Structure 1
Amino acid sequence: MRDDHDQPHRWYTTNLVGVPAPVLGGVAFQAHPVRLSIAGARASHGGLFSLLDRAGDAAEAREMFGHYMSLAFGLQPAEGCVAERRRWKVSYLKLLQGWGMDANGAAGAVLKGWVESRFGLVPSFHKAPLQRFPSPAWIGYLEEKAASRWHNNSIWQQLDLLYEFCQWMLARFALLPEAVGPHVRLWRGSTRVEEQLVRGTLRERHCVVRLNNLVSFARSREEAECFGDWVFETQVPLAKLLFVPGLVKASLLQGEAEVIAIGGDHVVEARYAL
């Protein structure tokens, strides 16, 4: 039996979404989700959302969002300016690309750190289980999360807007036509099943697992089977989604049809991958 005092899920922090982190990371929120909004994000960029309200379709909204982010955060270097072209400017797009290549890399650490700050959920894994503090795993995560290379361009504010835009798009357009009510059925492959179990057993199939504070899901069981020996099927609240295929104009994570969501405890149906 694990000592819960060594588990990071007990180390909640304050958050900016108005729902206590222990509730947000629990199965009660999964069963009865409510809409979430990051304090100040929409108010600080009211012009963007006023513009979006005039969009006729998802394609036009994507174009508006991409153009606004480029102007607001200087994501496109000035033409003819060699120094500007050479300067590294981190963007939400680069973070998403980094996540797609390796969720346990530096970009993944920054994204998990953003979830800590905005939703109050502490990660449980980054290259290795994050348990008792201090430990080499924790120090490595903290170093990558705070690296100056990824914090030179208001990156958390960019991610705030990405989350708010995702929630706006899900409410306005059918980006996930399979969604039913406030949930969408998704799948996740896993090779670390035993250490993720909270209640129930794999033999029972119906159990509760503790996922990292930010996780990727697949939109079909067949896609999830490529990523683990076991496949979790679960109902994910739309309010926890940060990124879905077709959200932005760039072709990010389209090959995997990957959905990125805020994690926590989930009731799942566990099946062995075929």
Structure 2
Amino acid sequence: MTSPPPRQPVPEILAPSLPASARLPLNRCNLPPVILGSLTYQAHPVPLEIDGVRAFHAKLFDQLAEATDHRERAERFGHYMTVHFCLEALEEAGLTPGRKKKRANANYLRQVRGWSFDSDGREGAVLKHWVETRFGLLARHHNGCLHKPGSDAYQRYLAAGARGLYATNALEAQLDLLYTYCQYELFRLDPPRKHLTLFRGINRIDEHEILGRGPGGRYRVLLNNLNSFTSDRERADEFGDYILEAQIPLPKVFFFNRLLPGLLKGEDEFVVIGGVYEVGISTL
């Protein structure tokens, strides 16, 4: 009786670049989460469009096309948002006369201001939830690790997002249009450009989910679904001992401070949609 041939080693099956635990099966844009959150997308980005937003607000983009100056376009955008969403006439949007306006005033401007102040606050929860529903990329951290849906941190995140959206005036639709305008403006400012080199100060690389390591201080990391970066390398050094450097696809820029002049202090912050990225780690 002959002995069986030796067993051949089973080849390692590489995990997908975006783990299934970090994404939803569906989203509301033109690419599925597994693609737009991948390393391939970082290298070869294409425009992202939230379903129906550009077509529904065609009048706004016709008005923007007539303006040649960045500041004028920002003014036209702000005016359109105010009128379309009744931001200064909340009763017309359904607010009961005499009712407190605190929650109804939770508009897109307050969301980006709140994010700049504390990305783990209520506004941060709203924005991360918005990224989940529009792009299908799940939040990984908000005042704690969110890897386990049944955890206390995850339940607090859900509650904060729900409180942030309660009694607001089409807040997620406002964010849809803010992102779409941001993409329009980035294209107008520099049409051929596909990436920005941005920086993020960190104290330890293990603050991020490491999926792989490469030579020359390169890492493959899974970022939170929304993150703050800066275009100023020296500014990034103020927030950590090490600097994370990444090539960010322009379609993954949700907002940047210079988009709406005078809204936020400083001009170098970029709010970036997450996923898997190849990054470099260095010191200043």
> TM-score, with normalisation over the residues of structure 2?
0.84
Matched, 1:18 2:30: yes
Q: Deviations over 1:6-32 (max 9, x none)?
A: x77444241111211011111110000
Corresponding residue of 2:141 = 125
| Cα separation, 2, equivalents of 1:257 and 1:72 | 29
Which of 134, 154, 161 matches 1:145?
Answer: 161
2:229 aligns with 217
Give the corresponding residue for 2:69: 57
- SS of 2:51's equivalent in the other structure is coil
Q: Displacement of 1:250 after TM fit?
A: 3.6
Q: Number of aligned residue pairs: give it.
A: 261
Q: 1:257 aligns with which of 250, 261, 268?
A: 268
Note the C-alpha offset of 1:217: 0.4
Indicate the residue corresponding to 1:158 in structure 2: 174
2:221 aligned counterpart, secondary structure: strand
Distance 1:159 1:86 in 2: 20
AA partner of residue 229 (structure 1): D
Aligned counterpart for 2:258 among listed residues 229, 237, 246: 246
Structure 1 window deviating more from structure 2 (131-140 vs 150-159): it is: 150-159
Asked whether 1:196 is paired with 2:209, we answer yes
The runs of 4+ residues in structure 1 deviating greater than 4 Å are 84-87, 148-151
Corresponding position of 2:7? none
| Aligned Cα root-mean-square deviation (Å) | 2.4
Partner of 2:111: 95
Change (3 A) 1:8 1:100: farther
TM-score, with structure 1 as normaliser? 0.87
1:256/1:246 Cα in 2 relative to 1: closer, same or farther (>3 Å)? Answer: closer
Change (3 A) 1:268 1:19: same
Matched residues in 1 for 2:24 and 2:236: separation? 29
Measure the CA separation in 1 of the matches of 2:176 and 2:204. Answer: 30
Three-state SS of the structure 1 residue aligned to 2:259 is coil
- Stretches of structure 1 lacking an aligned partner (at least 5 in a row): none
Q: Cα distance, 1:86 vs. partner?
A: 4.2
How far did 1:85 drift?
A: 7.8
Give the whole-Å Cα distance in 2 for the aligned partners of 1:248 and 1:162: 10
Check whether the contact 2:118–2:124 (CA below 8 A) recurs between aligned residues. yes
Contact 1:216–1:259 (CA under 8 A) maintained in structure 2: yes
CA distance in 2, matches of 1:87, 1:12: 32
Amino acid aligned to 2:257: P
Tell me, yes or no, if the aligned pair for 1:8 and 1:124 is still in contact at 8 Å.
no
AA paired with 2:140? S
Larger of the two Rg values belongs to structure: 2
CA deviations 1:81-104 (Å, max 9, x no partner) are: x94784532111000011011000
* TM-superposed deviation, 1:51: 1.0
CA distance in 2, matches of 1:250, 1:159: 19
